[in-house]
């Protein structure tokens, strides 16, 4: 004989389902869409109203068609002065080189291996 089950069958209570959390990015997206919509509406309304403002003229003067003669003359003068300075510098370098050669000739101390001296090593 079988004994009757004295414990009632176990039942699992119904579990509450958690609601998904509100996406925190959604309010930001809605705010950005609202801002873009307001800017678009403002642009369309200004386009339809027809208040056209003339563009401001540039503060920059127009370039002259021909170069200024005084500037060209000044540039040529600067070029001539620079060429003159370069020539004077070359002349000065030549004078220095000649003076160095003269100084070396005056000192004319023979080196350690000169023709008339004993060699420093036997080799």
pLDDT per position in the chain (123 positions), as tens?
566 667 777 788 888 887 776 666 788 889 999 999 999 999 998 888 876 666 666 766 666 666 677 777 888 888 999 999 999 999 999 999 999 988 888 777 555 556 666 666 766
Residue 93, φ and ψ in degrees, nearest 5: -65, -40
Query: What was the pLDDT predicted at 96?
Result: 95
- Are the C-beta atoms of residues 120 and 112 closer than 8 Å to each other? yes
Query: What was the pLDDT predicted at 99?
Result: 93
- Are the C-beta atoms of residues 110 and 117 closer than 8 Å to each other? yes
């Amino acid at each position: 004989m079988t004994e009757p089950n004295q414990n009632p069958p176990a039942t699992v209570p119904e579990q509450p389902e958690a609601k998904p959390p509100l996406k925190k990015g959604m309010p930001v997206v809605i705010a950005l869409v609202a801002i873009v919509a307001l800017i678009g509406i403002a642009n369309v309304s200004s386009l339809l109203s027809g208040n056209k403002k003339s563009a401001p003229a540039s503060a920059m003067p127009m370039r002259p068609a021909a170069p200024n003669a005084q500037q060209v003359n000044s540039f040529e003068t600067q070029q001539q002065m620079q060429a003159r300075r370069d020539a004077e510098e070359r002349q000065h370098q030549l004078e220095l080189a000649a003076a160095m050669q003269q100084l070396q000739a005056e000192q004319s101390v023979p080196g350690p291996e000169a023709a008339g001296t004993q060699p420093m090593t036997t080799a």
